Structure 1
Amino acid sequence: MRVDRVDSLCRRDLSRFLDAVEGTDDVLVTCTQEAPVFRELAEGRRSVAPLRFVNIRELAGWGEQGERAGPKISALVAMAAAATQDAVPTVSYRSAGRVLIVGDAGAALDWAERLSGTLSVSVLVTGRAWAPLPASREFPVASGDEVEIEGWLGAFQARWKQRNPIDLEACVRCGACQAACPEGAIGEGLQVDLERCKSHRQCVSACGEIGAIDFSRLDTTRGGSYDLILDLRREPAFRAHELPQGYLHPGSDPAEQMQAALKLSTLVGEFEKPRYFRYEARICAHGRNGKTGCTACIDVCSTGAITSQGDTIRVEPFLCMGCGGCTAVCPSGAISYAFPSASSLGARIRTGLAAFRAEGGRDPHLVFHDDGAGRVLLESLARARPGDAARGPAARRPVAPGLPADLIPVPVHHPGSVGLDLALGAVAWGAASVTVLFTPDTDEGYFEALTRQFETGRVLLAALGLQGPRLRALRTDDRLALHAAFRATAGLPAVDVPASFALPDEKRRAIEFAVQHLVERARAGKREVPRETPLPAGAAFGTLQVSQDSCTLCLACVGACPESALQDGGELPQLRFIERNCVQCGLCATTCPEQAITLESRYLFDEEARSARVLNEAQPFHCVSCGKAFGTRQMIENMTARLTTHSMFGGEKALRRLQMCADCRVADMFSTNDEATIFDFTGPGGRG
């Protein structure tokens, strides 16, 4: 890698940057202060060189420990240089600027008049407060309530109920109805005040052939298709924390409304975003045979993009915002993050930790953050507070605590995408602790979900002798509280020998690799490794307990298991179990007709977790006619006992047939004079 050291890249050394972007090699700028200027210059030169930035000033050089930040700077540069974007499919939006403005008449009509010159505007007036309609029909105006909106940028569908007798879309605004109404119940907004109306219906006569007024209208449903929605009502149409792209909800605040109106003009045209996820239905534990198991991804999604589709889920890529929370909580890895993949991000982290150690650094700590509020909060730790002054006339940096010299920030698209696989992998690669930073503008559900995930991780680490706050999720926008939290991890030692494995994209195998390395290091350090450790309720690892008195070995649970954790015994009447595959989804327990299965959260460090063990087995039952084994003794005995009093199985012969294999049962029916139903599978004329 070629390294150019300059003092004033954005000033007198700017020509060095311009020379670099003329080529095709990657260009990494270790300062973000003038990043927009550098991007603009590169675009002006039509540069094809990949351009990346990393902030080593606020994140490393500034702060109380800046003099010791050399290893961290090496790690930051190495990670930025290693950052590559996986090739992922994209999702395309197309917006022609058809905007529906929803809200009270005053604000909605006012914004419609302002925007109608640049956008294709329609207005849906809600509520009872009416303002005069524009003198000329510059844009469609409708009225209604029970408003329902669904969709996304370029593909919104709006529906509402038109309760008022005057249909504003048909009304020509002649004012004849107003003049005819004896109660003055029709205002300047051309809507009927039904509380004042005395049902004279003179307005209907005045409207005449136009037919815009109908007090007995049965079909009140109205709707339309729109590219954009400007919703001025108090409550949004969507309950999700993250609103769909193209839906703007500024509420009643005039300043927020102005910002939303300005943004509308930027949402016209064609847009693309990554398809952030991959989904493999084969191993999804959401459901089987109409039974519901895991709903973790549906519960955590803040956009409403994930819905149940019977036994599987459906992710609407147009609604997905790429938070990755679904991938962090998915127990099987059926849904995985693609922007970037776990293996790509893992490779970057492993490279950074190696660079940190190569420069003499010890016991590094990682903090994952987004590139918005999280990055700003971290950088603020190194900036001066109001009233601070530099120490001495020659000082060039503010006096502020800054980030610890052993704390390495790792930017991600969204902190919710960081899962237990990546966190444990980082600990195995030599990180003393992993912190994931959430700010209050992120949905609290992501923070709570990751807190539960990390609780499982801390139990695993503690069982291997790695106690302390090594895995943490923080949700704050207070930089002093954040600084105190970072200091709380000081002194935690990292694993003595870092792992070298590459993180696989298969989630459970990634966790297994990390735990196995930590087990090896614990044993190498003469620390006792338990055979197993109990885990918090709801953890995605564990075993099953089967009541042998109740289990009939019907093996319905085997067919319900999406992870092949439960298996049959082949030629033997057995129920086998591979613990490493079990995600504790509960589908087996829900499916079991005998309610013989219970779940138990734990992690088995022993090699036994990898091999199949028998949970239940039974003696085979042999046909009373030919002697062939065809089921279990317990199943046949239970069936015989239950059907003894059934009218269709009265008599010794009928019950005896239950103890025959299928072939002997059919033969016995034809060899006796008993009445039997014969199914004719021949077609017309007796031909099959």
Structure 2
Amino acid sequence: MPLDAKALGVKIHTSLCRQEVGVAIQAMNGNDSLVIACTQEGALFKELAEQSEKPLIAPLRFVNIREVAGWTQEAKTSGPKITALLALADMPEAEPVPVVNYESQGRLLIVGPGKQALPWAEKLSDSLDVSVLCTESGALPIARNFPTYTGEVTKLDGYLGHFTVDWNLQNPIDPEMCTRCGACVEVCPEGAIDDSFQIDLDKCKSHRDCITACASIGAINFDRVERQRSSEFDLIMDLRANPQMRMSQTPQGYFAPGQDPFEQSLVANQLLGLVGEFEKPKYFAYNEKVCAHGRNGKVGCNACIDVCSTGAISSLFKNGQGTVEVNPNLCMGCGACSTVCPSGAMRYNYPSVPHQGKEIKALATVFITESVKAKQSSSPTLLLHTLQAGTQALDSLGRSAHLRPKQFESLPSYVLPYGIEHIASTGLDLWLGALSYGFGEVVLLLTGDEDPSYRAALETQIELGNAILAAYGFDARLSQIQLESTSDLQPASLAMSKLRQRGALSAICSPASFGLSNQKRETIETVLEHLQKQAKVPLPAEGVVLPKSSFLGGLKINQDACTLCMSCVGSCPEGALLDNLDEPKLSFIEKQCVQCGICVQTCPEQALALAPRLQTVEQRKQKVELNETKPFHCIGCGKVFGTAKMVDLMLMKLGAHSAFAGEALERLKMCSDCRVVDMVKKET
């Protein structure tokens, strides 16, 4: 690699893992934290660290500058990029997050055809507490070393250490009771019973000789009423062609290797290691106070439930108030729920947005500073990718471009890769924040293993983000690259070729100094204010229309239909709609609205409609009056008990009813107390 030691400000080692390994050992015995700018020999350096004379003051950290910068077609101009990547690797680690615990005793259920399931049960039963549920009959072993069931699965859910399986026993022979003595096989005149000890009902002529032969055991019953069976397990090995759980990220402890023997053997090895206590990060944090899922029995925002591919999020209503409930054991950390959440009630926590904001701000700041020093003066592109799969794809692309430059093109010198736990966990607060820090654009790299719902959610958010930028007069700066798999490098290479030919985009604004917040709405408001100050075109007074998916927007009201009943005020989960204690007046603060639509559903007069749009920061902060009317005074006592419009509506709707004929119609103009008094007077 054509590294410039002087420009980078560090000493360059050309064979640190070979002849110069002594330098690494000496550094490990020193008093500094260490960052090694190569990932290929990470295992070697970790082993050396374990053998060092004294413990390291901080864990070894690694960063790959070879495949993503040093071996590119622009390696000689990659100094700013390498410096930025080194600075990122030297930043403090994220604060630890709470953990989710699992406990497995090794109770394994193998589900599938007996011909496949039973041999695996024989192999694994010495190490695990194995049970088998044969969905297709197979020869049962004579020795009853493990429980064997037959039937059709009706329900399978749960997670590592806590799976519940229900199945329906369909055959007259219950293999759990069968001793496999063979008496039924011998007496069956049609040969309808074989070594699977299940009755072929197509061959059976109902002689029932088998029942007589099994009388002392009672395993055969043609008239069995109770067929439902249920049990709990810690692990599931699903060998069916159509497995029960088909989501992109199945729960911990559930494996569906299909019918491939090699894949089955890989799963078997994994199962052997899943006995004991385990933990994983709690990826999310949820604040139900600002959740817009439901109010007054009405469902508003369902975004997190709809996007979750693992079934970890469910709806919960109590006394009409709706929240969501997240099972942390089922959550696999994709973070898509936080990406689509309009209010910020659901946020990703591994790591937090503030931590990611600090890191991408450092990337942009260092790159821009070093570019100016090198007289390159270009703005960087932020390439977001899933940490594991994306890193693998980018490393493969960089190596392929180095070895086969005529076939592949690697990352341009201005493209800075940034790995996150899962690509679906990133949203508009981080993307727009990156642009405000000086990045010229944000590109998402999808590696092909994402659930379709994640891809759709990211496309929707990208469309919304570019619409917001367009409202300020900026070009589209959010895009994505889609691979079919991590080994499918041609789309990525083609995308890099286009980026290289086009060149770096200039930043849309001067770099911001603020930090990103854990509160999604607060972060976006801050970013919008920064972008608005440097917008190319001013926002019109009526605002700019945004896509229907927008969580920014206002309300349209039919003032003639609205009776100011204030049902919408009580239903609004964000406090965007306000009433007035002194006079019948409905007010609205657009900044608070998340476009959940509960008010629209609640309004008995259907007088409200959502208006996704972008207005100025000042307009969105203001309290505006949507509707007002004169108060109506009781004709009996003079007390205000409603609005003039509401009473007029009642008179119009109920005036023709027989119960309010004649003088009784006047009672509609009275408060409840005076109405009762009037009725008593008229009756006496």
Q: TM-score, normalised by structure 1?
A: 0.92
In 2, are the aligned partners of 1:181 and 1:203 still within 8 Å (CA)?
yes
Q: Does 1:295 align with 2:302?
A: yes
1:340 is paired with a residue whose SS is coil
Separation (CA, whole Å) in 2 of partners of 1:11 and 1:197: 74
Give 1:660 shift.
Answer: 2.1
Classify 1:185/1:669 alpha carbon distance in 2 versus 1 (closer, same or farther; 3 Å): same
- What corresponds to 1:394 in structure 2? none
1:184 is paired with a residue whose SS is coil
- What corresponds to 2:523 in structure 1? 510
2:579 is paired with a residue whose SS is strand
Q: Does 1:383 align with 2:383?
A: no
RMSD: 2.2
For 2:276, the aligned partner's letter is G
Give 1:669 shift.
Answer: 4.9
For 2:599, the aligned partner's letter is C
Per mean C-alpha deviation after superposition, the further-off stretch among 36-45 and 599-608 is 36-45
Give 1:20 shift.
Answer: 4.2
Separation (CA, whole Å) in 1 of partners of 2:539 and 2:630: 38
Per mean C-alpha deviation after superposition, the further-off stretch among 76-85 and 149-158 is 76-85
Q: 2:563 aligns with which of 552, 558, 570?
A: 552
Unmatched 5+ stretches in structure 1: 390-397, 676-688
- What corresponds to 1:218 in structure 2? 225
- What corresponds to 1:417 in structure 2? 425
For 1:341, the aligned partner's letter is S
1:382 is paired with a residue whose SS is helix
Q: Does 1:149 align with 2:159?
A: no
Separation (CA, whole Å) in 1 of partners of 2:243 and 2:141: 26
Q: 1:367 aligns with which of 383, 387, 409?
A: 383
In 2, are the aligned partners of 1:93 and 1:154 still within 8 Å (CA)?
yes
Give 1:211 shift.
Answer: 0.8
In 2, are the aligned partners of 1:383 and 1:400 still within 8 Å (CA)?
no
Q: Does 1:87 align with 2:87?
A: no
Give 1:269 shift.
Answer: 1.5
Q: Percent identity?
A: 47
For 2:512, the aligned partner's letter is A
Give 1:603 shift.
Answer: 0.6
Q: Does 1:232 align with 2:239?
A: yes
In 2, are the aligned partners of 1:241 and 1:443 still within 8 Å (CA)?
yes
Give 1:262 shift.
Answer: 1.3
Give 1:131 shift.
Answer: 2.7
For 1:80, the aligned partner's letter is A
Separation (CA, whole Å) in 2 of partners of 1:207 and 1:413: 58
- What corresponds to 1:120 in structure 2? 129
In 1, are the aligned partners of 2:600 and 2:606 still within 8 Å (CA)?
yes
For 2:482, the aligned partner's letter is R
Q: Does 1:246 align with 2:253?
A: yes
- What corresponds to 1:166 in structure 2? 173
Separation (CA, whole Å) in 2 of partners of 1:400 and 1:485: 11
Separation (CA, whole Å) in 1 of partners of 2:40 and 2:430: 30
Give 1:481 shift.
Answer: 2.5
For residues 454-480 of structure 1, the C-alpha deviation after alignment (integer angstroms, 9 at most, x for no partner) is: 111112212223214x10122214433
For residues 541-585 of structure 1, the C-alpha deviation after alignment (integer angstroms, 9 at most, x for no partner) is: 111111011111111111111111111123121111111111111
Q: 2:74 aligns with which of 65, 82, 96?
A: 65
Give 1:295 shift.
Answer: 1.3
Give 1:332 shift.
Answer: 0.8
Give 1:380 shift.
Answer: 2.4
Per mean C-alpha deviation after superposition, the further-off stretch among 592-601 and 475-484 is 475-484
Give 1:606 shift.
Answer: 4.9
- What corresponds to 1:679 in structure 2? none
2:683 is paired with a residue whose SS is coil
Classify 1:496/1:549 alpha carbon distance in 2 versus 1 (closer, same or farther; 3 Å): closer
Separation (CA, whole Å) in 1 of partners of 2:191 and 2:624: 84
Classify 1:247/1:24 alpha carbon distance in 2 versus 1 (closer, same or farther; 3 Å): farther
Give 1:482 shift.
Answer: 1.9
For residues 372-421 of structure 1, the C-alpha deviation after alignment (integer angstroms, 9 at most, x for no partner) is: 221122122321469749xxxxxxxx996321111100010000011011
Q: TM-score, normalised by structure 2?
A: 0.92
- What corresponds to 2:643 in structure 1? 632
Classify 1:4/1:226 alpha carbon distance in 2 versus 1 (closer, same or farther; 3 Å): farther
Separation (CA, whole Å) in 2 of partners of 1:324 and 1:472: 19
Separation (CA, whole Å) in 1 of partners of 2:306 and 2:683: 57
Classify 1:293/1:25 alpha carbon distance in 2 versus 1 (closer, same or farther; 3 Å): farther
For residues 173-213 of structure 1, the C-alpha deviation after alignment (integer angstroms, 9 at most, x for no partner) is: 11111111111111111011111111111111111121111
Give 1:19 shift.
Answer: 4.4
- What corresponds to 1:681 in structure 2? none
Give 1:265 shift.
Answer: 0.8
Separation (CA, whole Å) in 2 of partners of 1:56 and 1:548: 62
In 2, are the aligned partners of 1:64 and 1:399 still within 8 Å (CA)?
no
For residues 291-337 of structure 1, the C-alpha deviation after alignment (integer angstroms, 9 at most, x for no partner) is: 11111111111211111123111111111111111101111111000
1:359 is paired with a residue whose SS is helix
Q: 1:314 aligns with which of 315, 325, 338?
A: 325
Q: 2:410 aligns with which of 385, 402, 406?
A: 402
Classify 1:573/1:185 alpha carbon distance in 2 versus 1 (closer, same or farther; 3 Å): same
- What corresponds to 1:49 in structure 2? 58
In 2, are the aligned partners of 1:463 and 1:530 still within 8 Å (CA)?
no
For 1:498, the aligned partner's letter is P
